[in-house]
Structure 1
Amino acid sequence: MTTTRHQLLRQAAEKEALASTFARYAKRLTGAFDGVPVRRQECETYWSGPAAGRFAARAAGLRRELAELEDSCLATAERLRRRARRLREDAAAAAAQDDQWAG
């Protein structure tokens, strides 16, 4: 079964929508740790002794993980957009071929 032009365009729209969702979520991750102390000296206001060091280390690790997640979301969004562009190109080629056969 061949994929129709309309199916290709629908798939492209779905990929674009998913890409927008990934990008929107990535933007929300950006400031998730704003204001959270990540240096031991900053943590000592809330934590004391070894707990301050553990909190700072964990907070710094989570900040890095969120940055990696943000990068992954943005990269996935870009891959989805590229795939959507290819699907639209395929749809345009299918339409041109249909026009050629009709004419």
Structure 2
Amino acid sequence: MREKQQLLREAADKESLATALTRYAKGLSDAFEGVPSRPEEYDPFWTGPSAGRHLARTQRVRREMADLVDACLITAENLRRRAQRLRETAARLPDPT
């Protein structure tokens, strides 16, 4: 059986990783801020096939980034739940003598 302190360290590590993932997810959300991604944002100065390719690629990357943000947030929440269970398990163990 693992020691109480080991469980608490693991819980703290999971909380720390969850916090980092949440912070990264918020940063990813802002990664494409200001990048034109709708035709009306660049039609006046950019037309033709390259504009269409840019639009398609930008929309695809934005969707992929949204999926990555969701995955980071879900993983962070799972880590927090696991950390809570570790703390609960540690609380039931006797203190080391």
Contact 1:43 1:55 in 2 (8 A): no
Using a 3 Å threshold, how does the CA distance of structure 1 residues 86 and 51 change in structure 2: closer, same or farther?
A: same
Segments of structure 2 that go 5 or more residues without pairing to the other structure are: none
Report the alpha carbon displacement of residue 18 of structure 1 after superposing the two structures with TM: 0.5
Q: Are 1:42 and 2:41 counterparts?
A: yes
CA RMSD in angstroms comes to 1.7
- AA of the residue aligned to 1:28: G
Map residues 62-77 of structure 1 onto 2, 5 A cutoff.
62-77=61-76
Per the normalisation by structure 2, the TM-score is 0.91
Query: Which structure would you say has the larger RCO, counting Cα contacts within 8 Å and 6 or more residues apart?
Result: 2
Bigger radius of gyration among the two: 1
- After superposition, the C-alpha distances for 1:27-59 in whole angstroms (9 at most, x for unaligned) are 101111111111223233553301101001100
Residue-pair matches, total:
97
Q: Tell me which protein shows more helix as a share of its residues.
A: 1
User: Distance between the aligned counterparts of 1:45 and 1:17, measured in 2?
Assistant: 47
